[in-house]
Amino acid sequence: MTERIAIVTGSARGIGAATARRLATDGMAVAVLDLDEDACAGTVKEIAGAGGRALAVGADVSDSAQVQAAVERVAGELGEPTVLINNAGVTRDNLLFKMTDDDWDTVLGVHLRGAFLMTRAVQKYMVAQRFGRIVNLSSSSALGHRGQVNYSAAKAGMQGFTKTLALELGPFGITANAVAPGFIATDMTAATAARMGVPFEDFKKAAAERIPVRRTGEPDDVAHTISFLVSEGASFVSGQVIYVAGGPLC
């Protein structure tokens, strides 16, 4: 099988790092892309230590020029990318009447604009090779979540973005799917607990009681699902939103 080149955005830590490691284990060369290139060193070191190929890349995914430069660097140093995981994300939680313009613009910019810019830059390599896999990170918050009108809107938008990509790019052998995690234990959820003044272990325990499988998710749970969606065998799965949430959501 031809070695695939993958780009995973927001992969210095959390779900992104777990996904980068998993794709490397699957035999792909991985561009570990995050806002701070130095922060990617740990993920790259882990991949290299396991015998894989990885490249640390720093870029703001909401900046068109930085995205273009980053993708061209990946193509030149690692190989032409045909797998893209749009995972980069931020939160700026607040109730609607307290939310600032910057809170809204930052979240929509990183999630939606970032996914758009990255996908636009990478798709030409996919079209040329008549093969491509795109996975966009949505969230259970796409169904609505108090205090996250910006994040919920962005994650719901990712689902519509994904379905349209599937329609437009399908004829070129490119699939597009979205993964929507529920409660995943990451630095982001730990920060939410800290903001609420709740110990993280108590926060996770309370969440687990509401989840049918009675545990919270781990980054590897999401990475395993992404691994399937980008595999050679998933060529007939496209335009789908898969909730990795430990049970059905209402």
Residues 241, 239: Cα–Cα separation, whole Å: 7
Residues 224, 16: Cα–Cα separation, whole Å: 12
The answer to pTM > 0.95 is yes
Residues 84, 137: Cα–Cα separation, whole Å: 11
Cite the DSSP H helix spans in the chain: 14-25, 41-49, 64-77, 101-108, 114-129, 149-169, 187-196, 200-208, 219-229
User: Which pLDDT tens digit goes with each residue over 62-88?
Assistant: 999 999 999 999 999 999 999 999 999
Using the predicted structure, report yes or no on whether residue 218 has a pLDDT greater than 80.
yes
Contact 150, 107 (CB under 8 A): yes
* Confidence tier at 192 by pLDDT (50, 70, 90): confident
- The DSSP string of 55-111 is EEEE--TT-HHHHHHHHHHHHHHT----EEEE-------B-GGG--HHHHHHHHIII
What is the arithmetic mean of pLDDT over 13-39? 98
Q: Catalytic: 243?
A: no
User: Which pLDDT tens digit goes with each residue over 95-143?
Assistant: 999 999 999 999 999 999 999 999 999 999 999 999 999 999 999 999 9
- pLDDT score at 24: 98
What is the arithmetic mean of pLDDT over 226-237? 98
SS3 34: strand
- pLDDT score at 250: 67
* Confidence tier at 2 by pLDDT (50, 70, 90): confident
Residues 57, 153: Cα–Cα separation, whole Å: 28
Q: Which of 104, 116, 131, 151 is catalytic?
A: 151
Strand partners, 8: 32, 85
Residues 87, 9: Cα–Cα separation, whole Å: 5
Strand partners, 148: 94
What is the arithmetic mean of pLDDT over 219-241? 98
Give CA separation, 199 vs 191, 195, 211, 225, in Å.
10, 10, 19, 29
Q: Which residues of 116-129 are buried (b: 16+ CB within 10 A; e: fewer)?
A: bbbbebbbebbbeb
- pLDDT score at 1: 58
